[in-house]
Amino acid sequence: MIEGKILLFGFNRSAIEIGARLKEQGFAFTYIDNDASLLPKAKKLGFDLVIADYSDDETLLSFGIGEDVTFVFTLFEEDVHNVFLTLSIRALDPHVDIVATTHTKDAIHKLQIAGASTILDPYQICGKRIYKLITQPEIMQVIDATIFGEADINMEQITITEHSALNGTLLSECYPTQNYNMLLIGLHDKELQKEFIFITEGHNHKLDQGDILVVIGKSAEIERFKMDFSL
């Protein structure tokens, strides 16, 4: 579970979607916007919306940035707001995770410079999906149905713990997911800089405490795997 607060700046459709999912998973979070006319809508949907002038550093500090805020989303329709907000927050706290959305290609680079941890580009994602639907419809249908969809096949990350039987083993020697109906997609090796490495890259990893495996499979199977390897 995450400790610390989650702040979502900008109350719009993307924000509502993210909020709905966070709520499902039991996270507490706060919406912040400067448009008071959105209040009734937020109330109707059952979300907490704070109206504040986010361009003011004092206000940002009062929300707990630099203290107990761990995640910030900047979801405004205007890239100008997103870039400015990202920059302000990064200046106040160099460690907070900032997820920024953008609506133009040029803003991606600016958000990176401003210090966003990750950038979500809805149009790019949407365009890419349409492209995949046309070029490889079968694959997209499968991905949609499994990872995004209702089917009970999920993607999950598993961290190797100190007492796990997997701690200290070589991936080439034991293919850990063999006896489970799940796929090991790749992993995050603490010793390597790269965030995520696909298993098909063929490196022979030594699993250590703190390494993270990413698997796809039925939730029950993943649970069974976690139990068996005391993860």
Partner 1 sequence: MNAITSFFVRFAYYLEASETYHRAKEFCRTLLEYQHSKLKFYFDIFMVFLVVISVLFLLYEVKHPDGLIYLDDFIQFSLVIFVIEYLLRFWISSDSHKLFLERYEYAINNNLPFSLTRAILAILKKKLDYVISPLAIIDLLAILPSFRPLRFLRIFILFRIFKLFRYARSMKTFTAIITEKKFELFTLAIFASFVIFTGSSAIYIFETQQNPKINTLFDALYWAIVTMGTVGYGDIVPVTTEGMVVAMLLIIFGVATIAFLTSIIVSSFQSKLVELKESRTFADVDKLENYIVICGYGRVGEVVAKMLHEDGYKLVIIDNDENKIKLAQQRGLIGIVADASKSRILGELGVGKRASQIICATNSDELNVFITLTARSLSKKIIIIARVIKNTHKKKYFLAGANYAFSADETIGLMGAQYITQPISYAALDEMLTENTGVIFDILILHEHAYFANQPVEALNLSEKRLMLFGILRKEETPSFQFNPSSDFMLHHHDMLIIMGRKHHINSLRKLNDQGNMR
Residues near 165 by beta carbon (within 8 Å), at least 6 away in sequence: 229, 230
Angstrom distance (rounded) from CA 226 to CA 191: 23
Nearest to 23 by CA among 44, 45, 43: 45
Angstrom distance (rounded) from CA 54 to CA 60: 6
> At closest approach, how far in Å is the CB of 58 from partner 1?
26
Nearest to 118 by CA among 94, 101, 106: 101
> At closest approach, how far in Å is the CB of 184 from partner 1?
8
Residues that bind partner 1 (CB under 8 A): 2, 6, 13-14, 16-22, 24-25, 27, 71, 73, 97, 99, 101, 103-104, 118, 120, 122-131, 133-140, 142-148, 153, 155-157, 175, 181-183, 185-186, 188, 195-196, 198-202, 212, 214, 216-217
Q: For partner 1, which is the closer residue by CB, 2 or 220?
A: 2
Q: For partner 1, which is the closer residue by CB, 30 or 57?
A: 30
Q: How many CA atoms lie within 13 A of 17 on its CB side?
A: 5
> At closest approach, how far in Å is the CB of 68 from partner 1?
15
Q: For partner 1, which is the closer residue by CB, 53 or 149?
A: 149
Q: For partner 1, which is the closer residue by CB, 6 or 49?
A: 6
